[in-house]
Amino acid sequence: MTFLWPDALAGLLVAAVLAGGYARAAFRSSTEPVAYSQTPLLAAAAAAGCRVCRHVPAALFLLALAALVIALARPVVPWPAARGWPIALVIDVSRSMEETDIPPTRITAAKTAAADFVRGLPRSTPAAVVTFGNYASVVVPLTTERDRLLAGIMNLSTQLRTQLGDGLVEGVRLLTGEAAAGAAATPSPEPRAVVILLSDGRASDGIPPLEAAQQARERGVRVYTVGMGTAGDPTQFRSGYWGVLDEPTLRAMADETGGQYFHAGSAGRLREVYRELARIVGWTRAPQEVSALAAVGAFLLMAAAVALRLRFLPLA
């Protein structure tokens, strides 16, 4: 936490002096005898009373004063804010996504995780859904309508081939338009847009995946890749060789663009990955002044102090 007017914090010294004065007055022991004709009645009243309760209003008042001083100092804290990057979810819908090593099927687990990702994004962030199999296809164009995105994800169905590179190129075109690629030699610290690409196998044909990643980098698009699968033995899958995850290619695609590769071997892990990605690409922390919150806190504390003062020490 930082303060725009830190000099105002000197007011906390006033609160500290008042607290010290109250403590000295409230807890000072008296050596003067007190004459009282009904000693048993006095003892019973003292036992029935709350020795701490009578100090609560004063404590709340001092806390309210401190909160007011902090509000005057104009505190600034890191606050969650939308990054604003447009995002394309590029999802493999090849026939290998029907494998059941990630129950109930890979494609079902992918739909659930992608839906979690969409729900975790800021409402103002535009997102799109692109698939690749026999061909690359835009299922949902860029939109902030979450219901439309979720419906598009849940209606996905599988195809035969795995045109991995074409899927990425289609996602990049959707995000950046048909403008010519730039001449960037290294990934930009701040991308124009982001692709989240999921695959469970390896490219069968089409544009080479690394060539597609180079195009993404040249257009300022950062690519995060997610590989899902549990084994490297093709005999365990109906789709054989094409159902074995090609992690080196997915990792190289992410590295080419300054992104990151994630692996998921279970439905639970896949959901965790997509939730983490929603935080990474959807959110950041920006400085935000919270003087109003501190002022509201001061008001509530003061109101509580007055209410308790009337409750425990009613006015004569």
Instruction: For residue range 227-269, list pLDDT tens digits in order.
Output: 998 867 777 777 777 778 899 999 999 999 999 999 999 999 9
Residue 185: is its pLDDT beyond 50? no
Instruction: For residue range 74-97, list pLDDT tens digits in order.
Output: 898 888 899 999 999 999 999 999
Calculate mean pLDDT across residues 14-38: 71
CB atoms within 10 A of CB 225: 28
| pTM as predicted | 0.74
Backbone angles phi, psi at 137, to 5 degrees: -145, 140
Alpha carbons 171 and 176: distance in angstroms, whole number: 9
Q: What are the structural domain ranges in the chain?
A: 2-24+41-78+288-312, 83-265
Looking at residue 37, its pLDDT comes to: 53
Residue 138: is its pLDDT beyond 90? yes
Alpha carbons 182 and 195: distance in angstroms, whole number: 18
Give the pLDDT band of residue 53 (cuts 50, 70, 90).
confident
CATH code: domain 83-265 is 3.40.50.410
Burial class, 26, CB count within 10 angstroms (exposed 0-12 / middle 13-18 / buried 19+): exposed
Looking at residue 55, its pLDDT comes to: 77
Q: What is the rounded radius of gyration, in angstroms, for the C-alpha atoms of the chain?
A: 31
Tokens representing 100?
């059941």
Select from 88, 104, 93, 89 the least CA-distant residue to 201: 93
Find the DSSP H helices in 100-181.
106-120, 146-154, 164-176
Looking at residue 6, its pLDDT comes to: 87
Give the pLDDT band of residue 181 (cuts 50, 70, 90).
very low
**What mean pLDDT is reported for the chain?**
86
Residue 306: is its pLDDT beyond 90? no
Backbone angles phi, psi at 61, to 5 degrees: -60, -45
Coil, helix or strand at residue 95: helix
Residue 107: is its pLDDT beyond 50? yes
Identify which has the larger pLDDT, 311 or 134.
134
